[in-house]
Amino acid sequence: MSSPIRDAMATSDVLITVGSGGVGKTTIAATLALRAAMEGTGSMVCTIDPAKRLANALGLEALGNKEARIPDETFGAAGLLPRAPMYAMMLDIKRSWDDLVERRAPPDKREKILNNRFYQALSTALAGSQEYIAMEKMWELHEQAKYPLLVVDTPPTAHALDFLDAPNRILDFLDNDAAKWLLTPALAAGKFGLKLFNLGGSYVAKTISRFTGTETLQQLADFMLNITSLTDSFRERAHQTRSLLQAPSTAFVLVTGPMPERVDEAVYFHTLLQQNKMRVAAVVVNRIHAPVPDALWDEVARMGGPLQARLEQTLKENDLLATQDARGIERLRELCAPTPLVLVPRFELDVHDLKAVWETSRYLWGEAQVDAAKATR
């Protein structure tokens, strides 16, 4: 049986899972990495999701900023015997930023950058910074070429767009004519080695400083001055990550649920990826409710007794869920064409151990199928 996921894995060394929150994206990322390892392709799954879901899905206590190999015992406990190793990590945003500065900044600038309050905000709390560092990490891991397959999980939709845009944003920030023009007096002062500089010259700078305070602009100027030493490497990296995202060996797996609001978001995201010339290997529709088989309706209709009414109510509810899901699937099929859909059923309990992850992979791999005939009737 053909499977778009299997094809994508055969032709890609980077898979990126994208989608809204709460659709099981992290689990699907883990599933892809697990399946690869089972098939003999060493894999690494990297999550940047702020919530610690991946460790949960892998049955690990916690994941750190370092790549950890999933221990054999974990696989053994699930009755699995992978033919290649599987690794996992969760990005620690602050640590990754510090590593980056320490690696790339000239020695005389390092401390200045690390101690600057703007840098501290940037590396811990600034919206968008985790997206940037994730791109950086993805590129670094890819460059190491240690893992034949790299699976990168992204934060939920609104932010996943930032993720695509992150390298450009950081470049805008560091290499922006506006900033240079505004801060020229300060930058010039810095270059001539003066300790105190004056922003008072420009009307625009004066007005903005009514907002932020003069000192803020000075500190920002200081930060920019020091971090300019990194601009070239940021610029180079931005181009590299962009081309990695668009490379023929990179594929996106868009994960969604079948309910109406998720479908709208998925379609929106699919359009954006295509506009950005990114290859979408498949739309994974997760947690689909199975329709009630006719035989069961018939059986309950005949049974009578105290259970009948309650069972009929249950079947009615199940069918409503299945009907709603079938509609969502139809809309996705139509609006995301020609990207293939991969359907994954809702399991009785939440997927949170390797065994359940393995079961999920059988649907991704085309070994098991949701009863699509009835689901789309």
Partner 1 sequence: MNPALTDKRLLIVTGKGGVGKTTIAAALALESARSGKRTLVCEVNTKERITQLLGKPEVGPEVTSLEENLWAVNVRPEESMKEYALMVLKFESIYSAVFENRVVRYFLRFIPSLQELVLLGKILFHLKEKRADGSFRFDRVIIDAPATGHAITFLSVPQVIVDTVPPGAMSTDAAWMRDLLVDAKTTAVVLVSLPEELPVNETLELHQALKDRVKLTPRLVVLNGFIPARFTEAEVEAPTTTLVHDTMRAHHARSKLSLASQKTLQKLGLPVVPVPRIFGTEFGRAAIEQVVALLSGADS
21-40: which residues touch partner 1 (CB under 8 A)?
21-23
The two three-digit tokens of residue 233, written as one number: 């490497």
Which residue in 59, 257, 258, 291 binds partner 1 (CB under 8 A)? 257
Closer by beta carbon to partner 1, 309 or else 337: 309
* 314 forms part of the interface with partner 1 (CB under 8 A): yes
* 335 forms part of the interface with partner 1 (CB under 8 A): no
Sign (positive or negative) of CA dihedral 248, 23, 126, 162: positive
* 215 forms part of the interface with partner 1 (CB under 8 A): yes
CB of 323 to partner 1, least distance (A): 6
The two three-digit tokens of residue 273, written as one number: 């990826």
CB of 274 to partner 1, least distance (A): 19
* 359 forms part of the interface with partner 1 (CB under 8 A): no
Which residues neighbour 313 within 8 Å (Cβ) at sequence distance 6 or greater? none
Q: Are 359 and 347 in contact (CB under 8 A)?
A: yes
Closer by beta carbon to partner 1, 146 or else 316: 316
Closer by beta carbon to partner 1, 74 or else 209: 209
Q: Is 376 exposed, middle or buried (0-12, 13-18, 19+ CB in 10 A)?
A: middle
Closer by beta carbon to partner 1, 136 or else 222: 222
Using CB under 8 A as the binding rule, the residues of this chain from 87 to 146 that contact partner 1 are: 117-118, 120-122, 124-127
Which residues neighbour 108 within 8 Å (Cβ) at sequence distance 6 or greater? none
- Helix, strand and coil content of the chain, in percent to the nearest 5, comes to 60, 10, 30
Closer by beta carbon to partner 1, 126 or else 247: 126
Which residue in 62, 158, 194, 301 binds partner 1 (CB under 8 A)? 158
Which residue in 74, 173, 333, 374 binds partner 1 (CB under 8 A)? 173
Question: Which of these, 239, 244, 235, 230, lies nearest to 114 by C-alpha position?
Answer: 230
Using CB under 8 A as the binding rule, the residues of this chain from 33 to 72 that contact partner 1 are: 49-53, 56
CB of 177 to partner 1, least distance (A): 7
- Given the rule CB under 8 A, which of 77-85, 100-108, 205-213, 241-249 is the region that contacts partner 1? 205-213
Question: Which of these, 295, 57, 244, lies nearest to 141 by C-alpha position?
Answer: 244
φ/ψ (deg, to 5) at 62: -155, 155
Question: Which of these, 233, 232, 229, lies nearest to 109 by C-alpha position?
Answer: 229
Which residue in 59, 155, 167, 258 binds partner 1 (CB under 8 A)? 155
- Given the rule CB under 8 A, which of 32-40, 67-75, 269-277, 300-308 is the region that contacts partner 1? 300-308
Residue type, 301: A
- How far is 133 from 139, CA to CA, in rounded Å? 10
* 282 forms part of the interface with partner 1 (CB under 8 A): no
**How many residues form the binding site for partner 1 (CB under 8 A)?**
76
CB of 164 to partner 1, least distance (A): 17
Q: Is 234 exposed, middle or buried (0-12, 13-18, 19+ CB in 10 A)?
A: buried
Q: Are 90 and 98 in contact (CB under 8 A)?
A: no
Closer by beta carbon to partner 1, 81 or else 349: 349
The two three-digit tokens of residue 301, written as one number: 């209709």
* 352 forms part of the interface with partner 1 (CB under 8 A): yes
* 83 forms part of the interface with partner 1 (CB under 8 A): no
* 208 forms part of the interface with partner 1 (CB under 8 A): yes
Closer by beta carbon to partner 1, 159 or else 279: 159
What is the radius of gyration, based on Cα positions, of the chain? 25
DSSP tag of 259: S
CB of 127 to partner 1, least distance (A): 6
